[in-house]
Amino acid sequence: MIIESGIGNGKMAAVDDDNRLLAAAFNIPFQHLIAKDYAKTFQVWGEADLASGTVTPLHIKNTSQNSVQVITYIRWQVIDEANGTALPSAANYMEFGYGAAYASGGTVVTPINMTSSSSVISSVSAFQSNPTLSGTPTVFDRHYPKSEGDMYSYNKEGAALLIPGSTFTAQFTGDHTAGKVYCRVSFVEVGLDGYSG
């Protein structure tokens, strides 16, 4: 039996000594595939001044009607906190959640396309600097910082999805009255029915 390429170039498939068809494959990360083939990988970051109570360094909404935002990584940090309980403490923690809506205030931030020189823009709206939100996020994770300046990273491995119209919010609750909280989210935009979007 002869196996031809099927495209008219006359090439045949090779077989090894054990009569197995020779094939080659390689494995690349999901984010690399989407960045390389579709230029739809993005990062967005925001920050907020610490205050006694809860502040929002980053709020994101999927504004697309036909795309899903796949959150792959979340990174956050507290810096220069002052006038509150020393870290770590039960009074100071970061939460991530879904469902709250943007109401007013804050500052618009624009996600950056991680494929350099790409003109593709993401289908999200994002706000930093403690925007006012309507409703309370449904929290899916909480973390207590161990010390000032530590950077915390989460690999969500594509399990956190923002379907059309849904939102993601990062909020820090604490008792400090000075300093900043920073949050960065990496995400990939894919179509509802496939990767091409």
For residue 197, name the pLDDT band (cuts at 50, 70, 90). low
The overall average pLDDT reported for the chain is 93
AA identity, residue 148: E
What's the whole-model pTM score?
A: 0.86
pLDDT at residue 26 in the model: 78
| Contact present, 72 and 93 (Cβ < 8 Å) | no
What is the gyration radius of the CA atoms in the chain, in angstroms? 22
Tell which residue, 104, 111, 91, has the closest CA to residue 41.
111
pLDDT tens digits, residue range 9-23?
Answer: 878 888 888 888 888
pLDDT at residue 166 in the model: 98
**Residue ranges of domains in the chain, CATH in brackets:** 37-191 (2.60.120)
pLDDT tens digits, residue range 42-55?
Answer: 999 999 999 999 99
pLDDT at residue 196 in the model: 62
pLDDT tens digits, residue range 57-105?
Answer: 999 999 999 999 999 999 999 999 999 999 999 999 999 999 999 999 9
pLDDT at residue 65 in the model: 94
For residue 1, name the pLDDT band (cuts at 50, 70, 90). low
